[in-house]
Structure 1
Amino acid sequence: MQKLSIKLGLIFLFIIFGLEIFMFFFLHSALVDSRVEEELIALQTRGNSHRDILERNFDRMTISHVALMESEANTDVVVTDENKQILDSSVAPSKIDKYIQSNADAVLEDEIVEDNWKEESYIATVSVIRGDAGGYVYMFQNTASIHSLIERLNRHFLVTGLIVIALTIVIIFFVSNALVKPLNKMKAATAKISKGDFSVSLPETGNDELGELSKSIQLLADDLNYLKQERTDFLASISHELRTPLTYIKGYANIVQNRELSPEERRHYLTIIKEETERISALIKDLFDLAQLDNNAFIINKEPVELYDFIRKIDQKLTPAFEEKGLKLVLFCPQRVYLLADPLRLEQIIYNLLDNALKYSENEGITKITVKTDNNDVLINIIDNGKGIPSADLPFLFHRFYRVEKSRTRASGGSGLGLSIVEELIHAHGGTITVQSRKNSGTEFAIKFKGALLDEDNLTR
């Protein structure tokens, strides 16, 4: 009784069985009433036919002929005069006298004398013979024939009901199994997920609620599988990023400790150790920043920032580095455009993007910073004409530790966390970032912040 298929089957069975019983009783009652009414109408019609004949020839011979005709039928006739004295009949008067006497008053219209087929022996009608003679034609039908008809109808209903119940049980069995089968697959899938196995595959079951649930479980499994793989890659990347500088530090520290070195050699090796130590420190700082962002513990202190002076200061800091590499940094920004942002984090965002442009642009390349407003939004674009990014790498560009150049040297860049931090910081400001790039044609990062005004006094906080 704990299985859902049994519970669903029993619920459906009780509901459908109840509806079927109600419908069978209603239909049975309607058919019986309709059949009795048809018999009464037929009886009245037959009486009217005899009445029509007697109105034309109301004599002993015609009356006897009418009684003789009915003696061979399954109905009976009684012809009376206007005082309801029996003139002739096809049935013993003792069986039908009470029906005539109960109708002792003069009858003006054709009518039904008795219709209680359940308790009486006969149903009866009367037809009025008009004219000079006057009289009545009573028609009777034994209710035994009606009871026999009802019994046959009951047997048909019983057989039909049993067939319907059997078919209903079979249909409910298949329907409940059809409903429960995908649920059992989902149950098995969630059991695998709970054990850490995310390689589940659920079939498409349509666009109904079960289909949506199946898609949700499949999406959950895919996301968990991705997170598991990302965690594995994340730990492997951290191990690799820490192992390399630690190997440098350990190796050169042993050299400094165990060898007789000249002051110049000692200074060279100590410089390498310092650089690798700073690399580890920067990596740990990035990891700490990402951990805070993931836990929503990263504090963003927003204040009005005038973008022209702000970006011009960044331009002044980085221009020497660009010029040293034979590159040009160009700024396009209108004055008196304010943005509610954390100045330190905004500088970190732009600096990381410009640092990427610096690393991957070649001699005589140009990097542009453009700032403009659009319906109270700030749009910041950083465009370079450097190496570009293959289209296959664009969807993964903001993933942690993701590198476009998998085999790049240590001199070519950091740990692969910079763009992840940029994206998280932009989202923390309520903004968005997109990237467009073509191999050997350059890259464009487009940042969109909401809430730009040309007047600091009206800036909404």
Structure 2
Amino acid sequence: MNKLSIKIGTLFFLIIFSLETFMFFFLHSAMVDSRVEEELSALQARGNSHRAILEKHFDANTIAHITLMESEANTDVVITNRNGKVLDSSDKVDQFYKYLKMTNSKIPREGKIVEGNWREEPIIATVSPVEQNGEVAGYIYMFQDTQSVHALIDRLNEHFLLAGLISVSLTVIIIFFLSKALTKPLIKMKDATSQISKGNFDVTLAKRGNDELGELAKSIQLLANDLNYLKKERNEFLSSISHELRTPLTYIKGYTDIVLKRNLPINEQQKYLNIILEETNRLSDLIKDLFDLAKIDKNTFIIEKEQIDLNEFLLTIERKLSPAFLENKMRLEIICPSNVFIKADPSRLEQIILNLLDNSMKYSSKGGVTAISVTKLKQSVQITIKDTGKGIPEDDIPFIFNRFYRVDKSRTRSLGGTGLGLAIVKELVDKHEAEITVKSELGKGTEFSLIFKG
């Protein structure tokens, strides 16, 4: 009983068998009762027919004629006078006395059933009153052996038993194929999830309809695809971390060995120590970015939104970064109308913009201009950061928010950076339920647009 198909088949069989048994029993009882009622009605009608004749001619000849007729039929008749004295009968009257005594004077004109218990009694019986001049002159008792009724019921039982066996057989066959059809996709899904649990995400499930099983199959397939993507991304991520950590550590170790083991002039020592400091700072930035991403992935990165006046906020950023832009002989412009507000986390919004501005400085040449402009839309506010830098190739744009992705495939370190800045920006924007888009053209610059709900 461990197989799902057996469990489903057994459950279906018990339910359908119970319903069929109830319906067969109900139908059988209804047909039997209906058939017995027909027999009693026919017996009563036969007695009423004889009564109609006797009411016209209530004499010995007519009585004898009626009893003679019934002696040749499968029914019997007993005719009595008004006091219950037997005038004539079609068979020995001794066997009928029991039912004659059950009669009282209150018998309706249409007659009544004297004995209808066909299951326990050997005879069913009816009585009809014979009236002359408005008064009861006698009674006609009709009797029928219940063996014919039992024979009829037996034949009916045989038919029902045959129909029941055929019905149960067909039910078992239908349930067998139905349970197989239902459980086959579930078994495939079970095998797929088993493969997924073992780390094999290259599973394929056949496309089904739009029912619940189809939706489940799609969900499992989507899960497998996502896990496969995450597995590849994790491997690439670990490889990238390994590379990013190894490179500064190699620099630090190499130049430290040089400073310690060689008797270098002060100016050369200072040169190597500066390189060590630069790589240490690079390593520190990488670890900080990794911690930020880890917090975001674990949903422990708290976003505390508040109302922010963008004009004041961007002017503060301008005061912080203008010296850095001037040092690189670049210009930072802020274009923001007054009374424009958004709900955001100030520190995280600052982190987003600083990361984007840092990229603008790295990838722009001397004399370049980076502009931050704010546009008030109907239901939102758009912050655009546009520079005049080298731009991003069109083929690279879909991947720039991936972790450790660099447009410079040679991974030259002259520009610095960890390859995580834009990945963090994208995660922070998503946490704000905002949107970020990018447009870029080689040699003309890049434009990032942040769209926040107003």
Q: TM-score range by the shorter chain?
A: 0.7 to 0.9
434, 454, 457: which is aligned to 2:436?
A: 434
Q: Which runs of 5+ in 2 are unaligned?
A: none
Question: What one-letter code is carried by the residue in structure 2 that aligns with 1:291?
Answer: A
- 1:175 partner SS: helix
Query: Does the 8 Å contact 2:282/2:416 carry over to 1?
Result: no
Q: State yes or no: 1:225 paired with 2:197.
A: no
CA root-mean-square deviation = 4.0
- 2:73 partner SS: coil
Query: Does the 8 Å contact 2:386/2:445 carry over to 1?
Result: yes
- 2:231 partner SS: helix
Partner of 1:457: none
Per-residue CA deviation, residues 16-63 of structure 1 (Å, 9 max, x unaligned), is 333333333332222211111111111112222222233333344433
Query: Does the 8 Å contact 1:431/1:447 carry over to 2?
Result: no
Q: 1:105, CA displacement in angstroms? A: 3.5
Per-residue CA deviation, residues 377-434 of structure 1 (Å, 9 max, x unaligned), is 7653324576766776555442211234545744456332111122334456x45232
Query: Does the 8 Å contact 1:186/1:217 carry over to 2?
Result: yes
The count of residues paired between Structure 1 and Structure 2 equals: 450
- 2:162 partner SS: helix
Q: What aligned pairs does 1:304-343 form with structure 2 within 5 A after superposition?
A: 307-319=310-322, 329-335=332-338
Q: Distance in 1 between matches of 2:273 and 2:71?
A: 135
Query: Does the 8 Å contact 1:114/1:124 carry over to 2?
Result: yes
Per-residue CA deviation, residues 158-181 of structure 1 (Å, 9 max, x unaligned), is 222222222232233333333333
Q: Distance in 1 between matches of 2:92 and 2:395?
A: 106
Query: Does the 8 Å contact 1:370/1:380 carry over to 2?
Result: yes
Partner of 1:66: 66
Which region of structure 1 is more displaced relative to structure 2, 108-117 or 253-262? 253-262
Q: Distance in 2 between matches of 1:172 and 1:26?
A: 24
Partner of 1:458: none
Partner of 2:148: 145
Q: 1:78 to 1:243 in 2, by over 3 A?
A: same
Q: State yes or no: 1:198 paired with 2:198.
A: no
Partner of 2:119: 118
- 1:399 partner SS: coil
Q: 1:142, CA displacement in angstroms? A: 0.9
Query: Does the 8 Å contact 2:426/2:436 carry over to 1?
Result: no
- 2:206 partner SS: coil
Which region of structure 1 is more displaced relative to structure 2, 272-281 or 345-354? 272-281
Q: State yes or no: 1:156 paired with 2:162.
A: no
Which region of structure 1 is more displaced relative to structure 2, 339-348 or 104-113? 339-348
Which region of structure 1 is more displaced relative to structure 2, 283-292 or 416-425? 283-292
Identity %: 59
Q: TM-score, normalised by structure 2?
A: 0.81
Q: Distance in 2 between matches of 1:408 and 1:173?
A: 62
Partner of 2:27: 27
Q: Distance in 1 between matches of 2:13 and 2:240?
A: 59
Q: What aligned pairs does 1:312-461 form with structure 2 within 5 A after superposition?
A: 312-319=315-322, 329-335=332-338, 345-359=348-362, 367-371=370-374, 379-384=382-387, 396-404=399-407, 406=409, 409-411=412-414, 414-426=417-429, 430-437=432-439, 439=441, 444-447=447-450
Q: State yes or no: 1:290 paired with 2:293.
A: yes
Q: Distance in 2 between matches of 1:167 and 1:223?
A: 44
Question: What one-letter code is carried by the residue in structure 2 that aligns with 1:349?
Answer: I
Q: 1:297, CA displacement in angstroms? A: 5.3
Question: What one-letter code is carried by the residue in structure 1 that aligns with 2:184?
Answer: K
Question: What one-letter code is carried by the residue in structure 2 that aligns with 1:419?
Answer: L
Q: 1:89 to 1:363 in 2, by over 3 A?
A: farther
Query: Does the 8 Å contact 1:433/1:445 carry over to 2?
Result: no
172, 176, 183: which is aligned to 1:180?
A: 183
- 1:130 partner SS: strand
240, 246, 251: which is aligned to 1:237?
A: 240
Which region of structure 1 is more displaced relative to structure 2, 53-62 or 195-204? 53-62
Q: Distance in 2 between matches of 1:77 and 1:442?
A: 118
Q: TM-score, normalised by structure 1?
A: 0.80
Q: Distance in 1 between matches of 2:26 and 2:393?
A: 75
Partner of 1:166: 169
Q: 1:298 to 1:155 in 2, by over 3 A?
A: closer
Question: What one-letter code is carried by the residue in structure 2 that aligns with 1:21?
Answer: T
Q: 1:386 to 1:69 in 2, by over 3 A?
A: farther
Q: 1:198, CA displacement in angstroms? A: 1.2
Q: 1:320, CA displacement in angstroms? A: 6.5
Q: 1:182, CA displacement in angstroms? A: 2.8
Q: Which runs of 5+ in 1 are unaligned?
A: 453-461
- 1:8 partner SS: helix
Question: What one-letter code is carried by the residue in structure 1 that aligns with 2:198?
Answer: K
